[in-house]
Amino acid sequence: MLPLSSLPPVIRVWGSAGLATLLILAGPEARAAEQVVFVSGAFRRSIPVADLERLARTGEAVGLLGDALRLGGRDPAEVGKLLNHRVTLPLVQTTRLLSTRFGESALERLSGILYPLKAPPVGMVALRSATILGIEDGSGTLSAVGFLRAYPNEEVAINLPALQSALAGLSGMGHVVKEFLESDLGSNLERIQEPGPPAAP
């Protein structure tokens, strides 16, 4: 892992500020997610991240996770593959995208679904930090397990009603994604390069 001082300034700002804020709020021992907590009103059920990592590593689901997959008729091995699936995300370009109006809007919406259990107001900071640090740890790739390992809070909550509402609205999101991809930002995103040395006069 690269030392923080060697990273571009914008990454140091988001990564350091995000981690500092969350560690202050969550306590000195919070370094990564340890529990995924499913929340629906007064209902709460926790699944240890270690169980998710075990599923990703071996394809074996244990405890509450095993029960949930069994009741849902899901194949643990297939879910394990999903947890391991890596998406290639260039670190600098992703960091810049998360700082755009589009990125901020996406983070804001997602932070209503996934947030630190005891510090919901800093959900956007946690998402940004976990994404950037997860990509760095994954050498330019990010998986679900990698995201949780980088999440700077012990308990990450998933708001089930908000998640269900978001999933129900996904069918109408196609045109939004299409408009983004056809916009100047979307079409030029892959061309964004890390700033290099100034050109010689």
Q: What is the pLDDT of residues 77-129, one digit of tens each?
A: 999 999 999 989 899 999 999 999 998 999 999 999 999 998 899 999 999 99
Mean pLDDT, range 125-142, rounded to an integer: 93
> Which one-letter amino acid corresponds to residue 83?
L
Average pLDDT, stretch 163-186?
Answer: 57
Tell me how far apart the alpha carbons of residues 89 and 94 are, in angstroms, rounded to a whole number: 6
Tell me the percentage of the chain whose pLDDT exceeds 90: 45
Token pair 């998710």 in the structure block, residue: 52
Is-contact 152 18, C-beta < 8 A?
Answer: yes
Task: Evaluate if residue 183 carries a pLDDT over 70.
Answer: no
pLDDT at 17: 38
Quickly state the pLDDT bin for 133 (edges 50, 70, 90): very high
CB 61 within 8 A of CB 79: yes
pTM of the model: 0.67
Please report which confidence band the pLDDT of residue 169 belongs to, taking 50, 70 and 90 as the band edges: low
What distance in Å separates the CA atoms of residue 168 and residue 182, rounded to the nearest whole number? 24
Q: 32 falls in which pLDDT band (50, 70, 90)?
A: confident
Comparison of pLDDT for 30 and 72, the residue scoring more:
72
Write the DSSP symbol of residue 143: -
Residue by residue, DSSP assigns 82-96 as: HHH--EE--HHHHHH
- pLDDT, residue 132, reads 93
Helix (H) or strand (E) holding 67: helix 63-71
Rounded mean pLDDT of 177-198? 47
Q: What stretches of the chain adopt beta strand conformation (E)?
A: 35-40, 43-48, 87-88, 114-116, 141-142, 155-159
What local confidence, expressed as pLDDT, does residue 182 receive?
52
Model confidence band, residue 61 (pLDDT cutoffs 50, 70, 90): very high
Rounded to an integer, the average pLDDT of 25-33 is: 52
Angle between helix axes 76-84 and 49-58 (nearest 10 degrees) is 100
Q: Mean of the per-residue pLDDT values for the chain?
A: 76
Distance CA 84, CA 67 (A): 20
